[in-house]
């Protein structure tokens, strides 16, 4: 593993314990038996390391989504796999890891929000494809569904809500997606 990658992985593990704000470059250097000078040879600042951690995560998610979905034609299978991949990747994100992003690193959080918006637009494309092929209801206004889903993600699948409600990113995302796809009415209602 390259030194840069070791720094990213090491800082991520440290932040999983303490959060990005409380994790320090001094502690990272001590834990990994390297000098701060070595770390700063690869990164100009702690914030740049944090951005690299999040970029690494988002790149992995995107790569896995496009690799897997490129082989599937059926829109329902695509929607299901999309949700499975994102849910699986969110298992690796602890609430403490992301709790500091909106407050202390808003530029990085904005980048995460932009990424989520792009992926939800991709999800919408799959829904449109599903409607055109008869797999999903045609009368659904995709613009409304996309805006509703994005607003819900921003309100619910965010560090503050997750921490305040003692949830995990994985279970929060999974619940939101299940609700959007299947609703809240029981199958055998009276």
Write down the pLDDT at residue 54: 95
Taken in order of first residue, the domains within the chain and their CATH numbers are 51-182 (1.10.357.10)
Q: How far apart are CA 13 and CA 62, in angstroms?
A: 21
Write down the pLDDT at residue 165: 92
Write down the pLDDT at residue 55: 96
Q: How far apart are CA 8 and CA 1, in angstroms?
A: 11
| DSSP reduced 3-state for 137 | coil
Tell me the pLDDT tens digit for each residue of 54-91.
Answer: 999 999 999 998 888 888 888 888 888 888 888 888 88
What tokens appear for 58 in the block? 């988002």
Write down the pLDDT at residue 72: 85
In terms of Cα–Cα distance, which of 43, 39, 41, 62 is closest to 51? 43
- Whether residue 89 contacts residue 57, with contact meaning beta carbons closer than 8 Å, is answered with yes
Write down the pLDDT at residue 187: 64
Tell me the pLDDT tens digit for each residue of 14-29.
Answer: 999 999 999 999 999 9
Write down the pLDDT at residue 186: 65
- Whether residue 29 contacts residue 110, with contact meaning beta carbons closer than 8 Å, is answered with no
Per-residue pLDDT of the chain (190 residues; tens, 9 = 90+): 799 999 999 999 999 999 999 999 999 999 999 999 999 999 999 999 999 999 999 999 999 988 888 888 888 888 888 888 888 888 888 888 888 899 899 999 999 999 988 888 888 888 888 888 888 777 778 788 888 888 988 888 888 888 889 998 889 888 988 888 777 666 665 5
């Amino acid at each position: 593993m390259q030194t840069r990658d070791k720094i990213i992985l090491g800082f991520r593990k440290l932040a999983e314990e303490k959060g990005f704000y409380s994790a320090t470059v001094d502690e990272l250097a001590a834990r990994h038996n390297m000098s701060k000078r070595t770390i700063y040879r690869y990164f100009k600042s702690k914030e740049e390391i944090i951005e690299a951690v999040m970029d690494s995560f988002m790149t992995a998610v995107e790569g896995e989504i496009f690799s897997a979905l490129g082989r599937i034609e059926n829109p329902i299978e695509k929607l299901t796999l999309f949700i499975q991949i994102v849910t699986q990747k969110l298992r690796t994100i602890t609430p403490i890891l992301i709790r500091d992003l909106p407050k202390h690193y808003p530029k990085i959080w904005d980048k995460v929000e932009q990424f989520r918006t792009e992926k939800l637009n991709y999800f919408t494309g799959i829904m449109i494809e599903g409607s055109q092929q008869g797999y999903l209801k045609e009368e659904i206004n995709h613009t409304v569904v996309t805006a509703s889903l994005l607003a819900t993600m921003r309100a619910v699948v965010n560090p503050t809500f997750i921490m305040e409600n003692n949830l995990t990113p994985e279970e929060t995302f999974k619940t939101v997606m299940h609700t959007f796809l299947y609703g809240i009415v029981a199958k055998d209602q009276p």
